[in-house]
Copies of this chain bind each other. A is one copy, B any other.
Amino acid sequence: MVDIVVFGSVAFDSIKTPFGETNKTLGGSGTYASIAASFFSKPGIVSAVGSDFGTDNMGVLKKKGIDLTGLELMPGKTFFWKGEYGHDINSAKTLEVQFNVLENFKPELPTEYKKADFLLLGNNNPEAQLNVLKQMKKRPKLVIADTMNYYIEHKRDKVLEVVKEADICLMNDGEARMLFNTPSLLKAAKEIIKLNSDLAIIKKGEHGALLSTAKGSFVAPAYPLEEVVDPTGCGDCFAGAMIGFLAKQGTVNEELMRKAIIYGSTVASFNAEGMGTEKLCSISIKDIEARFNEFKEIVRF
Contact = CB atoms under 8 A, between A and B. Distances in A.
Interface of A: 87-89, 183-187, 190, 204, 206-208, 210, 212, 216-222, 224-228, 258-259, 261-262, 294-301
B258 A218 contact: no
CB-based closest 7 A-B pairs: A219-B221, A207-B207, A258-B301, A299-B299, A186-B226, A217-B224, A219-B298
B301 A220 contact: yes
Contacts of A225: 184, 186
Contacts of A212: 224
Contacts of A299: 218-220, 299, 301
A300 B218 contact: yes
29 contacts: A87-B183, A88-B183, A184-B225, A184-B226, A184-B228, A185-B206, A185-B224, A186-B224, A186-B225, A186-B226, A187-B226, A187-B227, A207-B207, A208-B221, A212-B224, A216-B297, A217-B224, A218-B301, A219-B222, A219-B224, A219-B298, A219-B299, A221-B221, A258-B300, A259-B301, A295-B301, A296-B301, A299-B299, A299-B301
A224 B210 contact: yes
A210 B299 CA distance: 10
Q: How many copies does the complex hold?
A: 2
A251 B160 CA distance: 53
Contacts of A88: 183
B186 A298 contact: no
Q: Which of A87, A89, A186, A226 has the most CB of B within 10 A?
A: A226
A184 B262 contact: no
A210 B207 CA distance: 10
A294 B298 CA distance: 18
Contacts of A301: 218, 220, 258-259, 261-262, 295-296, 299
Given A184-B225, A219-B222, A220-B299, 9 more contacts: A185-B224, A186-B226, A208-B221, A216-B297, A217-B224, A217-B298, A218-B300, A219-B298, A221-B221
A300 B219 CA distance: 9
